[in-house]
Amino acid sequence: MEDVKLYEMAVEAMEYAYAPYSHFKVGAAVLTKSGKVFTGCNVENASYGATICGERTAFVKAVSEGHKDIEAIAIAASDDNIVPFPCGICRQFIFEFGEDIRVILKNNDNKLITYKISELLPEGFRL
Ligand code: THU
């Protein structure tokens, strides 16, 4: 699947974001090596620390449905001025399933950019 298509699916997933506290909506689309896509959004909570990021929602949907061979994740956010780099916890979460997983985002010039998760999380923790 083309990166741009996966990114569009992340944008669509943003629609379901539950973000009444930050008003910052995040959508994510995870592409498996077999070509399936799982989407997710951020789900906030009045107990702020209980919030789940969009990336982890999508990953948990994929893995819990038996898909842990992940190729790429696209991430979109509602504020065009912010490039939605995954937070530290999400970087570690993505890294768990492969250091070559590609992370697709839109930069401030409105262009899709791709990183390997190992670039965003060098020397990531492994057991
Ligand atoms: N958020 C994500 O969904 N992914 C990230 O990687 C960073 C932050 C969400 C959490 C919260 O709902 C909102 O963005 C503001 O932090």
Task: Give every CB contact of residue 42 below 8 A, 6+ residues apart in sequence.
Answer: 17, 18, 19, 24, 25, 26, 51, 52, 53, 54, 57
Structure tokens at 99: 């250091």
Residue positions annotated with a catalytic role:
55
CATH classification code of 3-120: 3.40.140.10
Domain ranges of the chain: 3-120
Does the Cβ of 90 fall within 6 Å of ligand 1? Answer: yes
Q: How far apart are CA 26 and CA 23, in angstroms?
A: 10
Report the amino acid identity of residue 124.
G
Q: How far is the CA of 86 from the centre of ligand 1 (A)?
A: 8
Overall average pLDDT of the 23-51 stretch: 98
Q: How far apart are CA 69 and CA 27, in angstroms?
A: 20
Overall average pLDDT of the 98-117 stretch: 97
Does the Cβ of 92 fall within 6 Å of ligand 1? Answer: no
| Ligand 1 atom nearest to 19, measured from its CA | 12
pTM of the model: 0.97
| Ligand 1 atom nearest to 89, measured from its CA | 6
Overall average pLDDT of the 31-47 stretch: 98
Beta bridge partners of residue 31, listed in sequence order: 37, 72
Q: Above pLDDT 90, what percent of the chain?
A: 100
Residue nearest to atom 13 of ligand 1 (CA): 24
Position 104 scores a pLDDT of 98
Kindly list the distances between the CA atom of residue 83 and the CA atoms of 56, 91, 98, 109, in Å, as whole numbers in the listed order: 17, 15, 23, 10
Position 97 scores a pLDDT of 98
Position 123 scores a pLDDT of 96
